[in-house]
């Protein structure tokens, strides 16, 4: 797919979504939304981020070495996100159960929190940008233009105090998504005195995905975002705004949806989810294993490589970016419980499709430049990018 085709696909998807979105009550609330954050929601959001940062420092966790970066440095990551997640969710549910907090507050202040998150992202991006321009901090690998540095980031791994901000920033993002999910669950029960089967399916799938993410947090240290993406407004906003608030659109859609799921829908959702998590987790595990233990067997055999650098065994002999395929199947399974009356709940899947197709294009260019003839040989051996015999 060339750039023109990709751009046309983006415009087409956005047009369909907007055409159906403008009819909804949430869209009218969105149009009337104040562009400036309220004191209460901003205070809660900042306190929440600070709480996770402190919890990450005080809870025990094993430290793992990261990949060697472009400047030949190596960072070390304290991977205790699983403990941080369990502690935060346990406190949230317990406090709600005993009436110490109102667990529905997040869902009832959804749009106010959305505004606060946008301003927090803007403030952090501005701080990181100015701290480089004024103080010339280390590890700044880009200096192309002010706008480029601000949006895409100049610094690969910025630190605030002892905290690696890029690695940490996914914690308020993913845990925030989980808390928004649970808050909508509490709200549905409060309003209807029951929980729909569709809501149960969505909660199980997405929250198990979040649990799996933090349980395998160490394997994220070898992903593109960590080793290659610089930390500017794009990643900051994507993590703290897009993931928790846009990924939970299905949850808002299901608040008043009590249409029973048919048996074949349960089967479809289950197959899609388990196939997706199997491909996603196994492919990432194989890549992580190859980077740290290159002699370890894959599918019972010694790994086959090209030039000792490019893995051709396991899932990586099926498609060059097979992990993206697993991620897309998982995203689709999160949307399927919403039914088929409108495309709005499928925004997460459509967004991820556009994102990963674009990232696939960027990956191809980056790898061709980095590996040269080895990459050409890999493309010959593994001709498919995402889906065998299709793309």
pLDDT in tens, 167-216: 999 999 999 999 999 999 999 999 999 999 999 999 999 999 999 899 98
Show Cβ contacts of residue 34 under 8 Å, excluding neighbours closer than 6 positions: 112, 115
Structure tokens at 197: 């089967």
Which residue, 256, 119, 121, 106, is CA-closest to 179? 106
Q: How far is CA 391 from CA 2, 21, 278, 382, 386, in A?
A: 13, 30, 20, 11, 6
The neighbour count for residue 271, using CB atoms within 10 Å, is 12
Please say whether the beta carbons of 313 and 382 come within 8 A.
no
Convert the pLDDT of each residue in 35-47 to its tens digit.
778 889 999 999 9
Beta strand ranges found along 32-162 (DSSP E): 62-68, 74-79, 159-160
Q: What is the pLDDT of residue 1?
A: 47
Backbone angles phi, psi at 57, to 5 degrees: -80, -35
Q: What is the pLDDT of residue 174?
A: 95
pLDDT 10s per residue in the chain (391 long)?
Answer: 444 454 554 554 454 444 444 445 554 444 555 677 888 999 999 999 999 999 999 999 898 887 776 666 778 889 999 999 999 999 999 999 999 999 999 999 998 999 999 999 999 999 888 887 676 655 444 556 677 778 777 777 888 888 889 999 999 999 999 999 999 999 999 999 999 999 999 999 999 999 989 998 888 887 777 877 788 888 898 889 888 988 888 988 898 889 898 999 999 999 999 999 899 888 888 887 887 787 888 887 888 888 888 888 888 888 988 889 998 999 999 999 998 888 888 888 888 888 888 888 888 888 888 888 888 888 888 888 888 888 7
Q: What is the pLDDT of residue 218?
A: 87
Show Cβ contacts of residue 228 under 8 Å, excluding neighbours closer than 6 positions: 70, 366
Q: What is the pLDDT of residue 96?
A: 96
Q: What is the pLDDT of residue 4?
A: 46
Q: Write down how long the chain is.
A: 391
Partners of residue 63 on adjacent β-strands: 78
Alpha-carbon span 181 to 183, nearest angstrom: 5
Q: What is the pLDDT of residue 352?
A: 84
Convert the pLDDT of each residue in 230-261 to its tens digit.
888 888 988 898 889 888 889 888 988 898 98
Angle at 37 between CA 31 and CA 40, to 5 degrees: 125
The neighbour count for residue 331, using CB atoms within 10 Å, is 21
Please say whether the beta carbons of 48 and 116 come within 8 A.
no
Q: Is the pTM of this model over 0.75?
A: yes
């Amino acid at each position: 797919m060339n750039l023109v085709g990709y751009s046309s696909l983006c415009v087409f998807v956005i047009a369909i979504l907007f055409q159906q979105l403008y009819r909804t009550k949430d869209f009218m609330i969105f149009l009337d939304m104040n562009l400036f954050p309220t004191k209460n929601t901003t205070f809660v959001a900042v306190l929440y981020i600070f709480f996770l940062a402190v919890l990450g420092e005080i809870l025990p966790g094993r430290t793992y070495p990261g990949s060697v970066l472009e400047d030949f440095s190596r960072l070390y990551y304290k991977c205790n996100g699983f403990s941080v997640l369990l502690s935060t969710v346990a406190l949230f549910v317990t406090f709600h159960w005993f009436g110490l907090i109102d667990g529905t507050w997040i869902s009832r202040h959804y749009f106010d929190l959305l505004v606060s998150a946008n301003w927090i992202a803007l403030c952090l991006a501005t701080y990181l940008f100015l701290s480089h321009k004024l103080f010339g901090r280390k590890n700044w690998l880009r200096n192309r233009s002010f706008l480029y540095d601000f949006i895409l980031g100049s610094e690969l791994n910025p630190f605030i105090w002892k905290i690696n901000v890029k690695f940490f920033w996914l914690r308020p993002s993913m845990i925030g998504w989980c808390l928004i999910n649970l808050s909508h669950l509490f709200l549905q029960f409060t309003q209807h005195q029951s929980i729909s089967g569709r809501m149960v399916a969505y909660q199980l799938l997405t929250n198990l995905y979040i649990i799996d993410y933090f349980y395998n947090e160490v394997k994220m240290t070898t992903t593109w975002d960590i080793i290659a993406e610089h930390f500017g407004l794009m990643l900051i906003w994507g993590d703290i705004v897009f993931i928790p608030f846009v990924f939970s659109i299905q949850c808002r859609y299901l608040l008043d949806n009590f249409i029973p799921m048919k048996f074949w829908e349960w089967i479809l959702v289950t197959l899609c989810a388990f196939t997706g998590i199997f491909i996603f987790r196994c492919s990432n595990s194989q890549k992580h294993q190859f980077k740290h233990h290159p002699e370890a067997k894959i599918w019972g055999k010694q790994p086959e490589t090209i030039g000792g650098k490019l893995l051709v065994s396991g899932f990586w002999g099926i498609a060059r970016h097979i992990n993206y395929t697993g991620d897309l199947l998982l995203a689709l399974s999160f949307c399927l419980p919403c039914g088929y009356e409108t495309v709005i709940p499928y925004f997460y899947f459509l967004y991820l499709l556009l994102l990963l197709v674009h990232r696939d294009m960027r990956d191809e260019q980056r790898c061709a430049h980095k590996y040269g003839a080895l990459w050409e040989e890999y493309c010959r051996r593994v001709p498919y990018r995402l889906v065998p015999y299709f793309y």
